[in-house]
Structure 1
């Protein structure tokens, strides 16, 4: 049994989008919960078992998984036949794992401290900055239309997500903008918006 704790228009929306891409949304029990929003709205939901009251949280047969990149890896391994991940044994498995880890370890921290206007040598030494993130994406997308090659993968789904939340953070680089447009032209981009709109608190 798969259960996803989800709050509309939050980081867990990308997990809904992944379930749509995997064509398994109907196999997952979606539990809508509230979370504390950046504007101060919302609040912790006592029905949400996430240790920090956040989303997403995936529960599979009683085992809890949190953090988007871990959940994405788990689901693409679980539904490996759908072709959105890279199973163990495939030559580019390491690249796939690296993109997922790079998002959580580098990209999101950089985008958050950049948006907050923070600038400190420790931050730059540890994470680098937005120009380095843009350069890494550009270097790959100048070679292939998607991060893993010629086809859309869950790595693209994860890495494109912050630029759909914060379009102002989008690098002014044409190959990156073209990649975002390709990702967002997929039906799942519209379907996840419709899902969230239909599940907003009354």
Structure 2
């Protein structure tokens, strides 16, 4: 069985959501983490993540860390749920691109914005990110068109936590509203509060 090492109201909450969307059997191992915004918490020795962070997923003794890797691992492990296109699917390339874009572009751009350390190059990258994401969502409801995917979960989870990290556009608010209406998210949030 899958074990999700989880700290409530953290980046691991998105994987409660994904696991619920997948219908996967899993258990939650609640761990403490250091929370830099509040200065509370501490590294938990039970947490196998090399940096003491979450998410961390263990599957039959194999440790998977980092959000994009966990999303890809889980959607490949449970292909019938349809939340991650398989290799023969023409959406596979865009799916992988969005997962990598989340980790390599969105997270750094938003972190620099939040920490108020944007130079001109960072500002240009943030504007390009906004342009790419906004124009994609102006044409279609989800990152892969009509198909909701784990990539949407990664991106939307940022908006759930800090909507102000992306510019004020109705397209982002509508995307967030569509995602927030998903029953699997409600189930995940109920477990997040109980864990």
Of 30, 33, 38, 2:31 maps to 33
Q: Which residue of 1 aligns with 2:13?
A: 13
- Aligned alpha-carbon RMSD (Å): 1.4
The alpha-carbon deviation at position 136 of structure 1 amounts to: 0.9
3-state SS of 1:31 partner? strand
Q: Which residue of 2 aligns with 1:100?
A: 99
Give me the whole-angstrom Cα distance separating, in 2, the residues matched to 1:95 and 1:187. Answer: 25
Give me the whole-angstrom Cα distance separating, in 2, the residues matched to 1:102 and 1:12. Answer: 19
Report how many residues are paired. 194
The alpha-carbon deviation at position 122 of structure 1 amounts to: 5.6
Tell whether 2:4 aligns with 1:4.
yes
Q: Which residue of 2 aligns with 1:185?
A: 181
3-state SS of 1:196 partner? helix
Contact 1:170 1:177 in 2 (8 A): no
The alpha-carbon deviation at position 169 of structure 1 amounts to: 1.9
3-state SS of 1:52 partner? coil
Contact 2:134 2:172 in 1 (8 A): yes
3-state SS of 2:63 partner? strand
Q: Which residue of 1 aligns with 2:164?
A: 168
Contact 1:140 1:147 in 2 (8 A): yes
The alpha-carbon deviation at position 106 of structure 1 amounts to: 0.5
Contact 2:20 2:185 in 1 (8 A): no
Q: Which residue of 2 aligns with 1:149?
A: 145
The alpha-carbon deviation at position 156 of structure 1 amounts to: 0.8
Give me the whole-angstrom Cα distance separating, in 1, the residues matched to 2:176 and 2:31. Answer: 29
Tell whether 2:119 aligns with 1:120.
yes
The alpha-carbon deviation at position 121 of structure 1 amounts to: 4.4
TM-score for the superposition, normalised by structure 1:
0.91
TM-score for the superposition, normalised by structure 2:
0.94
3-state SS of 1:29 partner? strand
The alpha-carbon deviation at position 29 of structure 1 amounts to: 2.3
Contact 1:45 1:53 in 2 (8 A): yes
The Cα offsets for residues 160-196 of structure 1, whole Å up to 9 and x where unpaired, read as 1111000222321122221111111112232222111
The Cα offsets for residues 123-171 of structure 1, whole Å up to 9 and x where unpaired, read as 457xx11x22221111111211111011211111111111100022232
